[in-house]
Amino acid sequence: MSRVETAKPPVPGRQDRPASRAGTAARGFLMGAVSRFWLVIVLIAAWEVATRIIQESYFPPPSEIVVTMYELWFSGPASQLFLTQDALDDFGHSLYNLFGGWILACVAGVAIGVALGLSRKLADYIEPMIHFGRAVPPPTLISFYIAAFQLGTPMQVATIVSGVIWPVLLNTIDGVRTVEQLHLDSAEVFGVRGARRLFWVVIPGAAPKIVAGLRISLGLALILMILSELIGSTVGIGSLLIGAQRSFELTEMWAGIVILGVLGYLLNAVFVAVEKRALRWHLSARGVT
């Protein structure tokens, strides 16, 4: 005798509700954030306790640093997204130099790197000069850039470009040279040559190493941005740091240091997110999610 299954009536209060699902998602996000950043929270708490005990003016507690950051940069009107005029001036100038120098270096590094990666004869002439140039520390060239461009944005962008281009250039050369020969042979068989071979086979095959060079160069660009603003600049985060140091405004100095750390973390997080999306095919092939 067969058993007839009857549908059970829904139990009141057990239905999935959008509000409850949203709350669960929010709690899951919060727990995930805590699980990732618990060490940061512990270190900040230890920093707060230690500085309160030591009472040393050179090491203000994080709570005072946060208050100073708010007063300096984040207490503006809502029409300016709560950014003060100092924030717009400092961040705008610094980010303009950062991205301007980084983009110029990336474009030049990729273009030159592709050319050298494809031509061994050209590389034999150029590579010795490349290794000589990358061995020169960018700070030693600041005096030359001041003489060539005078103080201002051109000098700062040139400083960033001179230090940022090398990881992009070298990674691009290596990436182009290590494109799988099977891909090149397949392109030749199907008649894919010239510009189509370059953009459909060579650059996609070298993309993982090119992107790695771009990521390294972005961190270097942040460092050189500050370095270039420490000399003769009246605006920017670097100018704020050196001004606060000279006037013994130590809390403002630490506020600048902290905001640089936050900026570096955000830039890296955004870059990683874009990298995962752009190189999804490569990460899937490696089994990386």
Write the single-letter amino acid at 37: F
pLDDT of residue 2: 46
**Cα atoms in the 13 Å half-sphere on the side-chain side of 25:** 7
Which listed CATH number (3.10.20.30, 1.10.540.10, 3.40.50.300, 1.10.3720.10) goes with 79-285? 1.10.3720.10
The pLDDT of 75-85, averaged and rounded, is: 87
The pLDDT of 233-255, averaged and rounded, is: 89
Residues 210, 216, 222, 224, CA torsion sign = negative
Indicate the pTM of the whole model.
Answer: 0.81
Report the C-alpha gap between 200 and 191 in whole angstroms. Answer: 12
Domain residue ranges in the chain:
22-55, 79-285
Place of tokens 């570096």: 264
pLDDT at 1 over 50: no
State the chain's mean pLDDT as an integer: 84
Select from 98, 128, 126, 96 the least CA-distant residue to 111. 126
CB neighbour list of residue 254: distance below 8 Å, 6 or more residues apart? 60, 65, 68
pLDDT at 26 over 50: yes
pLDDT of residue 191: 76
pLDDT at 282 over 70: no
pLDDT at 122 over 70: yes
Give the pLDDT band of residue 195 (cuts 50, 70, 90). Answer: confident
Report the C-alpha gap between 159 and 97 in whole angstroms. Answer: 10
The pLDDT of 258-283, averaged and rounded, is: 86
Report the C-alpha gap between 86 and 224 in whole angstroms. Answer: 21
